[in-house]
A and B are shown apart, each in its own frame.
Chain A
Amino acid sequence: MSQSFDKTENKRYFFSRGDIIVYAVLLAVIGVFTAVALLGFNKTAAYAVVYHNDDTVCSIDLTEDCAYVYYVDANNKAVCVPIGTLSDLPTSDYNYITVLSGELFVSSADCNDLTCKLFGKISKDGESIICLPHGMKIIVFSDDKGLGGDL
Chain B
Amino acid sequence: MTVNSPTKRLVVLAVLLACSLILFLIESLFPPLFALAPYVKIGLSNCILLYVLINFGVGEAYVFMLAKNLLGSLICGFYAFPFNIAGSFCSLTVMCLLYKLLYPKISVVCISVSGAVVSNIARTLVAALIMSTKGLLVQMPIVCLISLPAGILVGFLTILMIKYLPKLNLTPKMR
Contact = CB atoms under 8 A, between A and B. Distances in A.
A120 B36 contact: yes
A52 interface: no
Contacts of B163: 2-3, 5
Interface residues of A, number: 45
Interface string A9-42: 0011111111100110010011001101100110
Contact of A33 (B133, B140, B167): B140
Interface string A106-119: 00000001010011
A1 B144 contact: no
Contacts of A133: 79
A3 B167 contact: yes
A150 B130 CA distance: 11
A151 B141 contact: no
Interface in B100-144: 102, 104-110, 113-114, 117, 121, 127-129, 131-141, 144
B109 to A, nearest CB: 6
B74 interface: no
Interface in B51-104: 79, 98, 102, 104
B159 interface: yes
A130 B131 contact: yes
B39 to A, nearest CB: 9
B166 A1 contact: yes
A151 B133 contact: yes
The 3 closest A-B pairs by CB, nearest first: A126-B135, A33-B140, A18-B105
Interface of A: 1-3, 5, 11-19, 22-23, 26, 29-30, 33-34, 36-37, 40-41, 54, 113, 115, 118-120, 124-128, 130, 132-133, 137, 139, 147-151
22 contacts: A2-B164, A14-B107, A18-B102, A18-B105, A18-B110, A26-B114, A29-B117, A33-B141, A34-B141, A36-B140, A54-B132, A113-B79, A118-B31, A120-B35, A126-B133, A127-B36, A127-B138, A128-B133, A130-B127, A139-B135, A149-B134, A150-B134
